[in-house]
Structures are given as C-alpha cells and as structure tokens.
Chains A and B, each alone.
Chain A
Amino acid sequence: MSGPTASTDAIAQAIGPELDALERERQQVLRQAGSVLRKLGITLPIAAVILAIAAIGSQGGLPAPIYPIAIGVVALATLAFHFGLKQSKLNAFAGHYKQRVVGRIVEELYPDVHYDAEAGAPKDVFKASRLHGHSPDMYSAEDGFRGTVGDTDVLLSEVHAQYRQTTTDSNGRTSTRYVTYFRGIFLVADFHKAFRCTVRILPDQAERLFGRFGKMLQGFQPFSSEKLVYLEDPEFEKSFVVYGSDDVETRYLLSTSMARRILDLKERWGSDVRLSLHGSNIHVAIPHKRNLFEPDVKRPVDDESRIHTLVEEVRSCLGIVDELNLNTRIWSKE
C-alpha cells in the first residue's frame, strides 16, 4: 500500500530487490577507497627511487634538502589526486543512491511528489521568504521535493545560505569570509486560507535576552509596513515574535489553533523555527545540523534500518504540511 501511511517495512521490502546494481556500485566505491592508501604505498617508494637516480645522475648538482621536499610534493599530489577521485566516486554513488532509494521512498509515500537530489529551492524563492535578516551571498540547495501533498502544493529542500563578512584589522588589512546563517530544511507550501497581508513569525530573541526592553525594541519598526502583533497565547508569545502588515488578517491567519501547531512544530524539531506568509504561500525554515537523505556507504544499500531512517526523514519533512493542518480546505480558497 502506498501513501503517507504506508508501513516502513512494506516500503523497505518493496524497494530492496531493486537495488542490486547500486549495491555493486557501493562495493566498488569501497574497494577504490581502500586502494588509495595502497596506491600511496606503491607511489612513494617509486618516487623515492626515481629521485635518488636523478640525484646520482646530476652528481650533487642539487642541494640535499630538495630530495625530501620533492618526495613530499609527489606524495601529496598523489594523495590529493586519489582522494579527489575517491570523493568524485562517492558523490556519484550518493547521487545514484538518493535518486533510487530516496526517490523510490518518496514515490511510495507521496505519489504526487517528485524528488530531485540535485535541484533544491531556487535562491530567489529563499530570499523572497524574508525569514532572515541577511541576503544570501553564497547559496546552495539540494534534495528538492516538488509536488502535491494531499491538496497542498509544496516545495521542500535542504538549503545552506551564507553571507559575506568583510572585516578590517588595526593595520588596515581587510579580510573576507562567508558566515553560515541558515543550514536546514526550507519548505514553501500553498496556504489554505486566502490572504493579502504579509506576516513573519520569528524566534523571540530580543525578549529572551532583554526582557521588557527587548519587547520595546521589537515594536520599534519605523520604516517597515509590518507592525508588531501580540497574540493572546502567552506560551507562543514567549517563543515567537510576530510582525504583520495587517493586524486583523494576521490574527485570521494565526488562529489560536495555528499558533498551537507552530509551537508543536518548534517543540518537535527543537530549534529556531521561522515562518513567513506572503503571496498565498507559507514559508518555513527549520535549522538542522545533520545532512538529511544521505547514504551511508559503509552499510549495504538495502540495509533495512537505513531505509527506515530515510523513510522517517521523508515522512517528518513532508509531514510538516499536515502538522500545520494545511490540507484542511474548509475555507473559500480551494
């Protein structure tokens, strides 16, 4: 039985037999990884012999310390070459694994969702969500899920966003580095109610740090069309700060039950969940340290516990749609 309620065992059994070719590829990748050190063991002595012969041939024309340095350079170049080779094989395997295993899991759980390991959420969609104070100077997205969950159109992917930070030291030297401000799951879904305003629901850091003064700071938005909106739920208010361009419509979108669901979402993911609503969509950003949907090359591809983990990851991520009750279509928006 396929669908979000399909049992994990049934999925594991359904896709297991289709993975023989992938398992052969995994074993080949493992063999190649193991041979890197062996190759190095062969390359180094050969390099040493060649250099010794060259040294004898030149009759002391080169200073003595050049030989160990040259051997070191050859060894490092060999290492870099083999590790690069290994990494590219691993990446290729990861791509095949994701497409065949994660793709099949998604097919079984959510037949109307298409999974693409390479294509994530576009940068402009992430930027337009206005969930963070920064604009991404460096952006990458992978593991894209696009389609319909129940009655709701969704786009979900893993995102890594960084901004450029330039600093100048006391000597006037400037240095630039990239700082990660978001790494995790980014979801865009069609919201079940019609609306025209814009709303942002962010972690209440100012109030957490500065108490009443922080609350006053949050309210100071002289140049923004969005104003601070206080909701009635004290627990929600403690966790989140809400900015909305229309007080009444913001409350219409954030009904008491929706506020509770957002709190539950925060509770379950245990991190600084951010949400925004605009252009008929809801955007959700959930920071996550672990890279999801990745293969474990050391375990067989049909390893059931690994497939179980992947099923749960897919279910948890796309399950956000139901957690936020977006499939309840009892309003005039269809």
Chain B
Amino acid sequence: MPTSLIVVCAVLGVVLLWFLFTYNGLIGRKNRCKNAFASIDVNLKKRHDLIPNLVAACEGFMTHERELFTEVAKLRERAIHASGVSAERATVENALTGLLGQIQMRAEAYPELKSGENFLHLQRTLTELEEQISASRRAYNAAVESFNNAVEMVPSSIVAGMMNYETRPFFRAEGAERENVRI
C-alpha cells in the first residue's frame, strides 16, 4: 500500500473519530439541558400543587388579604399553562414567587396562623421547593452554557451547524427570586 494512501486513511480516521466524539458530545450536552429543564418543570409543578393548600391554610385567618389570594390563583393558572423556556413563563413564575413571599410575610401578623402546625409544615415545604427550583435552574443554566459554548465555538460549531443545533435560552431569576436563594 503506498504511503500516501496510508496517510490519507490515517487523516480520515482522525477526522471521523473527532466527528464522532463531537457529535456524541453535542447530543450529551443537549440531553443534559433537557434533563435539567425537566427538573425545573417538576419542581415548578410541585409548587403549583402546593399553592392551593397554602391558600386554604391561610384564607381562614387572613381575611383582609382576599386580593392577594385572587392574584395568586390567577398567576397559578397562567403558570400551569405555560411551557418551555420563555420570557413570559419566567416572568409569571417570578411574580408567583414574589406573591408567595408576600403571603408568608403577611402571615407574620397572624400569630394563630403562624404557630399552626399545618402552616409551619407548608412554609417549610415551600422554602424547600424554592431552593430546589433555584438549584434546578442553576443546573439548567450550567447545562445551557456548556451546550451554547459547543454550538458557538469552532470547531464543534461546524458539527452543530450540520445538526441544525441553535443556542438555547437561559432561565433567568429576577429580583425577588434571587432573594430567595440566600437561605
């Protein structure tokens, strides 16, 4: 076999190997984004499920906060029907976080409610969920950053272009929600 043919075969082999590694790496990164997003979804759903219990526990005591509860119910409805990573979804979820924080803050003025076992349990569960949402969002954003780097950086961007991959949006935490992370 002539030397030139061996060299060409070796170069092609290296290119093929690189292509396979890059291709698989991109798929792995994409799947990490999907898994991380699924985790955000699960935690947000848990929070949506918890809201009626929280409202039911508070309504009887916090009789002057009807407007707040109505607003929470409306936002919950919108949040349940939102899907994917969109600016609108992030805004709704952030607003919901803010209102839930307000309920907990205003509950301080109702000692009977505040000391109730049921409310304390709900409060703990909600705090835990907020941290889990924050954690899954951080995991998602880290996965998206890694994916976007691979999509945009040469030479993996060549393979990403062939696979029609595009950069993915981050799931942003705004104002009040950032506060919740500092526990």
Interface size class of A (residues with CB under 8 A): 10 to 19
Contact of A193 with B128 at beta-carbon distance under 8 Å, contacts A248-B139, A249-B135, A332-B121 already known? yes
When C-beta atoms are compared, the residue in chain B nearest to A247 turns out to be B139
| Residues on A with beta carbons closer than 8 Å to the beta carbon of B136 | 248, 251-252
Q: Which of A193, A252, A256, A331 contacts B182 (CB 8 A)?
A: A256
| Residues on B with beta carbons closer than 8 Å to the beta carbon of A248 | 36, 39, 132, 135-136, 139
Q: How far is the CA of A273 from the CA of B107 in the complex (A)?
A: 41
> 1/0 contact trace for A306-334 toward B, CB 8 Å?
00000000000000000000001011100
Question: Is the Cβ of A255 less than 8 Å from the Cβ of B36?
Answer: no
B127: interface (CB < 8 Å): yes
Task: Say whether chain B's binding surface is mostly helix, strand, loop, or mixed.
Answer: helix
> 1/0 contact trace for A253-268 toward B, CB 8 Å?
0011100000000000
Question: Is the Cβ of B124 less than 8 Å from the Cβ of A255?
Answer: no
Question: Is the Cβ of B135 less than 8 Å from the Cβ of A255?
Answer: yes
Q: How far is the CA of A257 from the CA of B180 in the complex (A)?
A: 11
| Residues on B with beta carbons closer than 8 Å to the beta carbon of A252 | 131-132, 134-136
B75: interface (CB < 8 Å): no
Q: Which of A193, A230, A257 contacts B181 (CB 8 A)?
A: A257
| Residues on B with beta carbons closer than 8 Å to the beta carbon of A256 | 181-182
Question: Is the Cβ of A330 less than 8 Å from the Cβ of B127?
Answer: yes
**Residue tally, chain B, CB below 8 Å to A:** 21
Q: How far is the CA of A232 from the CA of B139 in the complex (A)?
A: 10
Question: Is the Cβ of A251 less than 8 Å from the Cβ of B139?
Answer: yes
Question: Is the Cβ of A332 less than 8 Å from the Cβ of B124?
Answer: yes
Q: How far is the CA of A32 from the CA of B62 in the complex (A)?
A: 76
Q: How far is the CA of A222 from the CA of B39 in the complex (A)?
A: 24
Q: How far is the CA of A44 from the CA of B83 in the complex (A)?
A: 93
Expressed in whole angstroms, the minimum distance between the Cβ of B141 and any Cβ of chain A is: 8
Question: Is the Cβ of B138 less than 8 Å from the Cβ of A332?
Answer: no
In the complex, which of the residues A247, A257, A328 has the most CB atoms of chain B within 10 Å of its own CB atom? A247
Question: Is the Cβ of A328 less than 8 Å from the Cβ of B36?
Answer: no
When C-beta atoms are compared, the residue in chain A nearest to B140 turns out to be A248
B102: interface (CB < 8 Å): no
B142: interface (CB < 8 Å): yes
In the complex, which of the residues B36, B132, B138 has the most CB atoms of chain A within 10 Å of its own CB atom? B138
| Residues on B with beta carbons closer than 8 Å to the beta carbon of A247 | 32, 36, 139, 142-143
A-B complex: 9 closest residue pairs judged by Cβ atoms: A252-B135, A251-B135, A331-B128, A248-B139, A332-B124, A248-B39, A248-B136, A251-B138, A247-B139
**Besides A247-B32, A248-B36, A256-B181, 20 new A-B residue pairs in contact (Cβ under 8 A), listed by A number:** A247-B139, A247-B142, A248-B132, A248-B136, A248-B139, A249-B135, A251-B136, A251-B138, A252-B131, A252-B134, A252-B135, A257-B181, A257-B183, A328-B183, A330-B124, A330-B127, A331-B127, A331-B128, A332-B121, A332-B124
